[in-house]
Amino acid sequence: MTAQIIDGVLIAREIESELKIRIGKLAFKPILSVIQIGDDSASSSYIKAKAKAANRVGIELQHHHLPIDISLTDLNSLIDKLNSDSNGIIIQLPIPETLLSCLTRISPEKDVDGFHPMNLGLLMRGEPTLLPCTPAGIIELLQRSNYNLNGKHVVVVGRSNIVGKPLANLLLNKGIDATTTICHSKTKDISQHTKSADIVVVATGYLNTLNEDMVTENTIVIDVGVNRTDDGLVGDCAPNVANKVKAITPVPGGVGPMTVAMLMSNTVSASEQ
Ligand code: GUN
């Protein structure tokens, strides 16, 4: 049996249409500032996708491209300026470790990536805040595809601060009400967990993290991986997973466009405040 394909492009476009209406009600054009440090090619292509989406919905994306050897002092000065001039600010990751503290320099109310400890704390408490884009996009993708999460067992494979940990917290919150398990590189027998799941989210960044022996015919799989191979972009799932499970997100065209749509959505929310 071939799995149902959960189309992230289609759902992202639906969200963009809703955002255009909200932007039309604002007295100004929202400004999203994107800071890129160095010349990571993946970062450049993500920023291109964000600029295209911003253009479609009517957000002005300002790209600040800085050298890899920028000092923390200079970077923080730019962030201070953008905290007063922009509606939303993101720093495209990865950046050098010595600069990571700049993430907390962004005002929490402008932190449209949802990476600030204040926003992550509010998320954990189940209080309204700017949510990290990939976890928020995954929830939207499932809900808009009519997969009810209430009481479902969701296994998240991967414990990153950007995806695994915030997603597990979001799924637990009242109103979503999933039961969550987080697996990681030290988990014993990951397949014992994934086989008992209703939904498996794979976000490790490693090829073939999930294979067909680790899922059932009833599993819904969300593949967050973006791995560049000789065959092009592929996710964290082995190709044969799609031949077995009930539904799966494609790579590309699944979670990626949803992450971008949620960044636009956070920028509109920050502008409405
Ligand atoms: N690098 C990989 N994913 C992301 C993301 O969602 N936001 C930012 N800023 N950088 C990233």
Domain enclosing residue 45, as ranges? 29-107
pLDDT given at position 155: 98
Domain identity same for 161 and 98: no
**Same domain, residue pair 52 and 143:** no
Residues 172 and 228 in one domain: yes
Buried b (16+ CB within 10 A) or exposed e, 91-130: bbeebeeebeebbebbbbbbbbbbbbeebbebbeeeeebb
Residue 89 domain-assigned (yes or no): yes
Whether residue 92 is found in the same domain as residue 197: no
Residue 14 lies in a domain: no
Rounded to whole angstroms, the Cα distance separating 169 from 260 reads 21
- For the CA atoms of 117, 123, 126, 130, the dihedral, rounded to the nearest 10 degrees, stands at 110
Question: What CATH code is carried by the domain that includes residue 251?
Answer: 3.40.50.720
Is residue 77 annotated as involved in ligand binding? no
* DSSP, res 173: S
Q: Is 153 in the same domain as 62?
A: no
Q: Which two tokens stand for residue 215?
A: 């899922």
Asked if the structure places residue 142 within a domain, the reply is yes
Q: Please tell me whether the overall predicted TM-score, pTM, comes out greater than 0.95 for this model.
A: yes
pLDDT of residue 143: 98
Residue 225 and residue 189 share a domain: yes
Tell whether 105 is in a known binding site: no
Which amino acid is present at 113?
D
Residue 132 CA, closest ligand 1 atom number:
6
Structural domain contains residue 189: yes
Structure tokens at 149: 């999460």
Query: Do the domain assignments include residue 35?
Result: yes
The pLDDT tens digits of the residues spanning 86-103 come to 999 999 999 999 999 999
Answer whether 266 contacts ligand 1 (Cβ < 6 A): no
| Cα-to-centroid distance, 90 and ligand 1 (Å) | 8
CB 106 within 8 A of CB 116: yes
Mean pLDDT score of the chain:
98
Per-residue pLDDT, 2: 84
The Å distance, Cα 32 to ligand 1 centre, comes to 14
Q: pLDDT at residue 1 above 80? A: no
Active-site positions read: 50, 92, 113
Residue with the smallest CA separation from ligand 1 atom 8 is 92
Q: What angle do CA 214, 216, 217 make, to 5 degrees?
A: 145
90 lines ligand 1 (CB under 6 A): yes
Count of C-beta atoms within a 10 Å radius of residue 12: 27
Q: Find out whether the beta carbon of 251 lies less than 6 Å from any atom of ligand 1.
A: no
Give the integer Cα–Cα distance in Å for 30 and 34: 13
Is residue 17 a known part of a binding site?
Answer: no
**Contact (CB, 8 A) for 164 and 138:** no
CB 30 within 8 A of CB 271: yes
pLDDT reading at 208 higher than 90? yes
Number of domains observed in the structure of the chain: 2
The answer to whether residue 122 sits within a structural domain is: no
Amino acid in the structure at residue 73: T
> Are 136 and 210 found together in one domain?
yes
Q: Are residues 197 and 140 in the same domain?
A: yes
